[in-house]
Amino acid sequence: MEVVGDHGELEAERLGPRRVLDEVERRVLLRGEPVAERGHRRSLPRAAGAKPRGRDGYDQGVDATATLETLLREAFPGARELAVEDRTGGGDHFQVVVESDRFEGLSLVEQHRLVYDALAAPLRDGTIHELRIRTRPTARSQEPVDTGGSTT
Amino acid sequence: MTELRDQIQELISSEQVSLFMKGTPEFVMCGNSDRALRALQAAGAPITAVDVLPDPRIRQELSALSGWPTIPQVFIRGELVGGADIVEELCASGELQQRLDDALGTERELVVRTAPLTVSPNANTRTTQP
């Protein structure tokens, strides 16, 4: 892939070191939750008006969260869990969670590559400024995720 | 001067653990690079860090090589491990440490160093070679 998704924002500076650490801790804690209960999260539509059309011919900007969800649903039909969260409300920092049988037998790198492939267009045109990915094969869905990180 | 892509490939292949990040371990410029760095440190990795910020071509060449669109990127002995989410997840499950043990042995030198890349002022005019 020639074009690189941009993570250019100076997040550590913006949030401060303490805030970054809190975010890491929060994510570790979240691992214990059954993902299905977190449900679908959508940002509110940001502004009324005509939808700008992206270079790649998909709706862009007005509700990028919905756009990402549509692309993921096309790539992972029948996904047991599929959620797109706008982490900051700004419409460009996203966390996606996908549970699909397409991930069966794949390494995490291969699983994330499938997500990147599905979201290639918004990655390419800068709609996605930051992307966090959580994937799992459907077969593991009944098992709580063992993070190994919460010992006493 | 060696082609930038060759430099990156050489570095990925020769270093035990390479971390392509925004900023340096001393001054991390992105929360995701920070997550990857912390996970590697927690797993006891000898880290060779490369700052991609000095020139956008570093990131372009890296992603062309790895086929991975985002930063950070972590490699163990030339193999792409993943970005911040994967490294963090593998660290939490203990798998990252296991992979480091398998690839590098359990007696690891816990160092964090930086490896600068030499970027020519005008690499766009580089000569094309077969």
CATH number of domain containing B104? 3.40.30.10
- Break chain A into its structural domains and give their ranges: 39-45+52-140
Is A108 within 8 Å of chain B by CB? yes
Is A143 within 8 Å of chain B by CB? no
For domain A39-45+52-140, the CATH architecture is 2-Layer Sandwich (3.30)
pTM of the model: 0.72
CB contact under 8 Å between A13 and B22, yes or no, is no
Range of the domain at B106: 4-115
Residue pair A119/A68 in contact by the 8 Å Cβ criterion:
yes
The Cα B25–Cα A72 span in angstroms is 34
Beta bridge partners of A81: A99
Q: pLDDT tens for residues A23-75?
A: 544 554 444 333 333 334 444 444 444 444 444 555 444 589 999 999 999 99
Q: Please report whether residue B37 resides in a domain.
A: yes
β-sheet with B17-21: strand ranges across? B79-82, B73-76, B17-21, B47-51, B112-114
Enclosing H/E stretch for B13? helix B4-14
The interface predicted TM-score of the complex, written ipTM, equals: 0.88
The Cα B32–Cα A17 span in angstroms is 12
Provide the domain count of chain B.
1
Q: pLDDT tens for residues A65-87?
A: 999 999 999 999 989 999 999 99
CB contact under 8 Å between B30 and A116, yes or no, is no
CB contact under 8 Å between A112 and B38, yes or no, is no
Q: pLDDT tens for residues B66-120?
A: 999 999 999 999 999 999 999 999 999 999 999 999 999 998 888 899 998 888 8
CA distances from A73 to A110, A133, A137, B62 (A): 18, 15, 15, 29
Is A8 within 8 Å of chain B by CB? yes
Q: Is the pLDDT of residue B59 over 80?
A: yes
Q: What is the pLDDT of residue B11?
A: 96
Per the listing, tokens 């074009």 go with: A3
Contacting residues for B69 by C-beta, under 8 A, at least 6 apart: A1, A3, A4, A5, A116, A120, A123, B63
Residue A97 DSSP SS3? strand
Token couple for A138: 């459907």
Token couple for B91: 């660290």
